[in-house]
Structure 1
């Protein structure tokens, strides 16, 4: 005889099996450190707790009732990657993606010399996933617009031109926002809400003028509107770097002292030797160094 719990389980499994794929979506967020990824996700999902720093990979879940009555809910799986961008490709292979997925690259507009590296690393890692399906979109979000707006108009024009070119080449949406400006936060939050629970990306207030915050849906822009000849990513890169060179990264000395100490000095010495052995291993992963320095 079938029990009530068993019958309930059977009904739920049947509903799930018959559910439309459109009730489950994925949003994957990556980009510059401290660009506002966690804050944006927290506002989008209306979390009450203050966002904390993302060390590697964070998972959140959003739900909304669908149009049908009963158990069906639209579910949005939100992943945020906060580790080294060079290791992004390895992380993506372990993240379960749904047929409808959105890949967000967040850029820190206040640090103009780091923008190109973030673009190049993230877009190259994500484009293989975006190109294989018409149901997967790439979104470029420029964060900290309140600080970017203080730059010289010529600098802003260069950055905006570069981002428009990258978005056009990669068939991506482009939008600027700031957690300090309610109107911009509302606009991005509405865009994400519609992507997660509605009919996809919708950007109502469009703008291509660099004097104001950019808001450009994919396929809306054109080379004629940008004002430069049709270009490749390499050409855009060369043009960008001649005007805004990359930031010179200051690497830490490998033998730098650890940020902790034991009661006995001998333990510090032994720990330093052991950590140095790990760093010198052939299979050394760069992220291990960050981990050790945090111990």
Structure 2
């Protein structure tokens, strides 16, 4: 409160000092975004485009990390976004325990990237990765609850507050089935749904909007596109069961399907048109390395070494991550 004896310059100086003090106390906000999905599905490409890095994407080995920074205002610290990318499709899904931790669970977003050109692999890949991610999140939440139950309640309330009560919660028939199914799954998990192509500027722009919200907390988009002959874009909280409709099957067929819950019903309807093939294909990919018919001493020795290094990485990465200190703010 200015004193009666203060001059105009005294008041101005006090205001400037107060402003500078407030800016000095503003800490850089940090968020984490965890990408996972189909092998060679485009995760690296999305991250590189978002960060405006003119690089040729390379296959992701195990789990890779990068970061981005964004200025919030003049003379304030830059916000930091940690980007984690899981390679190998579902084969290395146990590494999800590294980016999903008690330390970042309150500022973590998960981005599931699915390859629409492989519809028969879509559901099993999605189901496996969502299951692993959900289990790790629940494990982390339970661990946090033992230390601070109030923070856990805050996380849950903030999540539900973002969604509305009914969160409104190939033009070929095959394309329609894929689109309706993905809309239901996204709605079921309270997630955003975005079709992305590196050759479409429209989808690239929408991708940037979504990732800016997840990584830096910018405003969420209120645009929605649900036409099946166009790339879908449905921000979390803007779809509804009434808009999505029932699973794409005749009512008579639906009554014959035995399902434990809604997600199981959609899965069975989807797999009638796109039978699961990924489990068999994954086994066929992994088994030849141990098949004596293809033995190559030098190659096998190197493979054994790399397997041991990967196992060592799996055991110690979580511990190392907790001890790591990223020297980012000073850069």
TM-score (norm 2): 0.64
Q: Which has the larger radius of gyration?
A: 2
Comparing 75-84 and 36-45, the one that deviates more: 75-84
Name the counterpart of 1:74: 79
Q: Secondary structure at the match of 1:179?
A: coil
Q: Is the 8 A contact 2:86 2:92 kept in 1?
A: no
Question: Which whole-Å deviations, capped at 9, do the CAs of 1:54-101 have from their partners, x for residues lacking one?
Answer: 01111111011223624x11000000000352542x322222525222
Asked if 1:207 corresponds to 2:212, the answer is no
Name the counterpart of 1:225: 243
Q: How many aligned residue pairs are there?
A: 244
Name the counterpart of 2:209: 190
Asked if 1:83 corresponds to 2:88, the answer is yes
Task: Name whichever structure is richer in strand by fraction.
Answer: 1
The 5 Å alignment of 1:93-242 reads 93-95=97-99, 96=101, 97-128=104-135, 129=137, 133-134=155-156, 151=170, 153-199=172-218, 202-228=220-246, 232-242=262-272
Q: Is the 8 A contact 1:25 1:98 kept in 2?
A: no
Q: Is the 8 A contact 1:57 1:79 kept in 2?
A: yes
Deviation at 1:206, TM superposition (A): 0.7
Cα distance, 1:81–1:23 mapped onto 2, change above 3 Å: same
**Alpha-carbon distance in 1 for matches of 2:75, 2:95:** 37
**Alpha-carbon distance in 1 for matches of 2:41, 2:69:** 25
Name the counterpart of 1:50: 56
Name the counterpart of 1:25: 31
The runs of 5 or more residues in structure 2 that have no matched partner are 1-21, 142-151, 161-169, 248-260, 315-331
Q: Is the 8 A contact 2:120 2:277 kept in 1?
A: yes
Name the counterpart of 2:66: 60
Q: Secondary structure at the match of 1:108?
A: coil
**Alpha-carbon distance in 2 for matches of 1:73, 1:247:** 46
Q: Is the 8 A contact 2:212 2:218 kept in 1?
A: no
Question: Which whole-Å deviations, capped at 9, do the CAs of 1:170-210 have from their partners, x for residues lacking one?
Answer: 1111111101112211221222123322335x234311221
**Alpha-carbon distance in 1 for matches of 2:205, 2:296:** 43
**Alpha-carbon distance in 2 for matches of 1:114, 1:126:** 18
Task: Name whichever structure is richer in helix by fraction.
Answer: 2
The runs of 5 or more residues in structure 1 that have no matched partner are 1-14, 138-150, 263-267, 289-295
